[in-house]
Homo-oligomer: A and B are copies of this chain.
């Protein structure tokens, strides 16, 4: 996809102010100049380490899911295991660690599914998606004080229905699953 001569140019950053650091995200205000109009505008950027999530499938074709209360939606959500890439860690290590810490599942065959920008408008970081097939329960989950997570197995064949029904609804979960499954709802059966 070639860039046209009219393709938008990068904006110039005029200044940058960090707000108080939080455990996972550091808000920063950037003053940016719009090259089209010359206007200077303040925009929020959230600094964050990269993230990982894992499509982990058992030998019995179950997807390993986690259920936890989420502070944004204020609801208990069904998702796939995910977390933050620690400093000095590579993202495969992070994916394997998060799967094991959150669920107790491990081993299997691992392959990369590519990466997503969680939200280019205000997040700097990348979410790396991993596929782990043939995983099995090898230990106990070990949750930190910021977590309260239940493990739940979902038949892989049920996943498209859970997506169209809005149960699996986290955009990063869907981005990972779309690399493994066709998420479109099955067509209606023909009338008899």
Q: Write the residues of chain A forming the contact surface with B, with a CB cutoff of 8 angstroms.
A: 1, 3-4, 6-11, 19, 22-25, 27, 29-30, 32, 34-37, 39, 41-46, 67-79, 114-124, 127, 143, 145-150, 152, 154, 162-164, 166-167, 169-172, 174-175, 177-184
Q: Which residues of chain B are near A114, meaning CB under 8 Å?
A: 163-164, 166
Interface centre among A10, A148, A163 (most CB of B within 10 A): A148
Contact B182 A120 (CB under 8 A): no
Nearest chain B residue, comparing its CB with the CB of A73: B120
- The CA of A73 and the CA of B7, in the complex, are separated in Å by 17
A65 — nearest CB in chain B belongs to which residue? B1
With A34-B145, A116-B170, A145-B39: A70-B121 Cβ-Cβ less than 8 Å: yes
Q: Quick check: B72 and A11 within 8 Å, CB to CB?
A: no
User: Once the chains bind, are B183 and A178 in contact (CB under 8 Å)?
Assistant: yes
5 contacts between A and B (CB under 8 A): A1-B162, A10-B69, A30-B71, A77-B117, A115-B166
